[in-house]
Structure 1
């Protein structure tokens, strides 16, 4: 009887150790590296400046674990993107992380009402800009176009006229499918979805961006270290045609 009890305890300890090692090894498994930089417009003022919500996160290693997420707002002008960071979720502790992520993702994806816009004008923008409540969907186009057709219609070159992204990023080479996804059109300012995640799309749309990946570095011919970027890139780009 004592021997049986002893063996049961040994087996229990063995199973606990096995689960512990499996759990640790799962944390070390990595997938594709990724960057997600998102912009959602919510209003435009009489100057043609566009107020947007923002969300940025990157996974340099491709680890299956929480990553820091930055939320905020930005104002798109014909010359630049003015950013206001309002919330950062750190990856630990995990329980709190996922609660916060779900909460702030819901706010980010939901439509902004008039009361919320008033608070944004007052608290975030310090009443320096004048954005009114409006139906931003009137500017939505949601069209997938070939690069050649877009360049011909708009009389521009996408290679020379680079898109802008959050944190000072710019578009690089366009993906091989040579198509772009225009989300919104505000006169001469276009908001594009650049995405090469084939789990979500049949095509690689738009361009890659020059976001820095410190874990994917290679020396060039002059022995300068350059970042090779991310495997998966989901970036909202701003294109201004002057």
Structure 2
């Protein structure tokens, strides 16, 4: 009788332990980074004005995380970033309302009036971007890395893509495919993602965004992010 009771307690403990582990696993998901660029206008100098959105979830938490919105101006020599709005994770009650609102602004097409306001309020009329004229530069095509390199006479291994906050491309995913979004001649925008929930293929490259972790030796290392959604900028000389 005592043996049977002990066995029952052991089985019950094992069940509770499994349920606890499953519960802990459900508290987090994959670490993610979203570094997105959406072009608005290109001027006669070849400068490209874009909207930007940046957020990273280093631990894969399901709770709200900081999101930064802004603009950038891409030229053959520089990428100028301008942060205009940050949504902090608290208070949670208004977080998702703000996120939905600013995400809709980022993802929607920019009107001529909005462009005029951006030039005046954000850019202080220091740049000339006359119209929302980027549709003719849109490609939205998936190519093999080798086909793209042959067509553009460029090495993607030597010529790195650039991301927001100074990031650079590292290793291309096993599929060896690139998703070409826009081709402005000397400036090319790629969609880089390994989020197979939304794409059938892993497209483009990983990036060197920093995600710190303390290893068994007590040393801080960069473990990167498990899920990447990154707009990459390739400058071709």
Q: TM-score, normalised by structure 1?
A: 0.85
Taking a change above 3 Å as real, the CA distance of residues 171 and 219 of structure 1, as seen in their structure-2 partners, is farther
Q: Is residue 131 of structure 1 aligned with residue 126 of structure 2? A: no
Q: Is residue 229 of structure 1 aligned with residue 227 of structure 2? A: no
Write the distance in 1 (CA, Å) between the matches of 2:152 and 2:174: 21
In the TM superposition, what is the alpha-carbon distance from 1:132 to its structure 2 partner? Answer: 1.1
Could you tell me whether the CA contact under 8 Å between 2:171 and 2:205 is conserved in 1?
yes
1:41 equivalent among 16, 39, 42:
39
Within 5 Å, give how 1:13-28 maps onto structure 2.
none
Partner of 2:53: 55
Partner of 2:112: 114
For 2:125, what is the secondary structure of its paired residue?
coil
Write the distance in 2 (CA, Å) between the matches of 1:28 and 1:146: 37
Q: TM-score, normalised by structure 2?
A: 0.87
Write the distance in 1 (CA, Å) between the matches of 2:127 and 2:219: 42
In the TM superposition, what is the alpha-carbon distance from 1:134 to its structure 2 partner? Answer: 2.9
Return 28-37 or 67-76, whichever deviates more: 28-37
In the TM superposition, what is the alpha-carbon distance from 1:27 to its structure 2 partner? Answer: 10
Q: Is residue 103 of structure 1 aligned with residue 85 of structure 2? A: no
Gaps in structure 1 of 5+ consecutive residues:
1-21
Q: Which runs of 4+ in 1 moved over 4 A?
A: 25-28, 217-220
In the TM superposition, what is the alpha-carbon distance from 1:26 to its structure 2 partner? Answer: 7.5
For 1:123, what is the secondary structure of its paired residue?
helix
Write the distance in 2 (CA, Å) between the matches of 1:218 and 1:179: 33
Could you tell me whether the CA contact under 8 Å between 1:28 and 1:63 is conserved in 2?
no
The one-character-per-residue Cα deviations of 1:121-156 (angstroms, maximum 9, x if unpaired) are: 111111110011133111000010000111111111
Write the distance in 2 (CA, Å) between the matches of 1:128 and 1:77: 15
For 2:180, what is the secondary structure of its paired residue?
strand
Write the distance in 1 (CA, Å) between the matches of 2:120 and 2:25: 43
The one-character-per-residue Cα deviations of 1:159-202 (angstroms, maximum 9, x if unpaired) are: 11000000111101000000000000001211000000011111
1:148 equivalent among 146, 158, 163:
146
Partner of 1:238: 233
Could you tell me whether the CA contact under 8 Å between 2:36 and 2:230 is conserved in 1?
yes
Gaps in structure 2 of 5+ consecutive residues:
1-19
Could you tell me whether the CA contact under 8 Å between 1:219 and 1:226 is conserved in 2?
no
Write the distance in 2 (CA, Å) between the matches of 1:136 and 1:145: 21
For 1:98, what is the secondary structure of its paired residue?
helix
Write the distance in 2 (CA, Å) between the matches of 1:164 and 1:194: 11
Partner of 2:14: none
Q: Is residue 77 of structure 1 aligned with residue 75 of structure 2? A: yes
In the TM superposition, what is the alpha-carbon distance from 1:28 to its structure 2 partner? Answer: 7.4
